[in-house]
Amino acid sequence: MTRPTEKKIAVLRLVPALALAVGMITPSAAFAWLPYQSGAACMPKNSTEAAKVEYDHTNGLGNKSTSNATVYCPIVYSGSEGSTYAEVWISDQHPTANATCSVKGRDRKGEFAWSSGNVSTSGASATAQAMNWISLPVEEYMIAFTMSCTLPPVSNGKISRLHNFGVDFQD
């Protein structure tokens, strides 16, 4: 017959082995998933822009003002993938003005390292439009990327929104 203390010792011996096994699995699983974030993670460019934007836990960030609003969004990625793309989903509700976004990056020393150029929405739509940048140079410089987006003003009570953004593997 096994005594209760012997059972406890046997279980305690398994704990380090299980922790090691989970530790070996978790990092590779974590690197396989790259996060998308809500537009609510973006910040207004300055205090003037802050008065123009509204945050919503479901719909991200919106421009509630009668003039353009610019926001900055941090792009998070694991750094282990060689071929990734950045993507942003925007519903542009303005009939004549488009939302415009770009991605810029700085290396570990804080020096400018990369710029995407601008991409824009095309036409008004209540449905979110995807804009993306292919082949971000994530491995060359270990760059910290920031996306800048300018949202058009409210039009007939309809608010343009930055719903979500992030990076993913290039297919």
Maximum alpha-carbon separation in the chain: 82
Instruction: Output the domain CATH number for residue 112.
Output: 2.60.120.260
C-alpha to C-alpha distance for 39 and 143, rounded to whole angstroms: 21
Q: What is the pLDDT of residue 18?
A: 35
Please give the tally of structural domains in the chain. Answer: 2
List the structure tokens of 77.
């990625």
89 and 59 within one domain: yes
135 and 62 within one domain: yes
Q: What's the mean pLDDT in 133-145?
A: 76
pLDDT digits (tens, 9 = 90+) for 49-89: 999 999 998 999 999 999 999 999 998 776 665 557 889 99
pLDDT-based confidence at residue 41 (cuts at 50, 70, 90): very high
Residue 132 clears pLDDT 90, i.e. is over it: no
85 and 18 within one domain: no
Whole-angstrom CA distances from 42 to 7, 38, 69, 85, 146 are 52, 8, 12, 18, 10
Whole-angstrom CA distances from 61 to 6, 37, 67, 164 are 58, 11, 15, 9
What's the domain range around 7? 1-32
pTM: 0.76
147 and 75 within one domain: yes
61 and 10 within one domain: no
149 and 84 within one domain: yes
Residue type, 116: S
List the structure tokens of 159.
């608010």
Q: What is the pLDDT of residue 46?
A: 95
Q: What is the pLDDT of residue 141?
A: 61
121 and 58 within one domain: yes
How many CB atoms neighbour CB 146 within 10 A? 16
112 and 53 within one domain: yes
8 and 40 within one domain: no
66 and 16 within one domain: no
Placement of tokens 């991200």 in the chain: 60
Residue 5 clears pLDDT 60, i.e. is over it: no
71 and 3 within one domain: no
39 and 68 within one domain: yes
Q: Which of 121, 84, 83, 118 is nearest to 104 (CA)?
A: 118
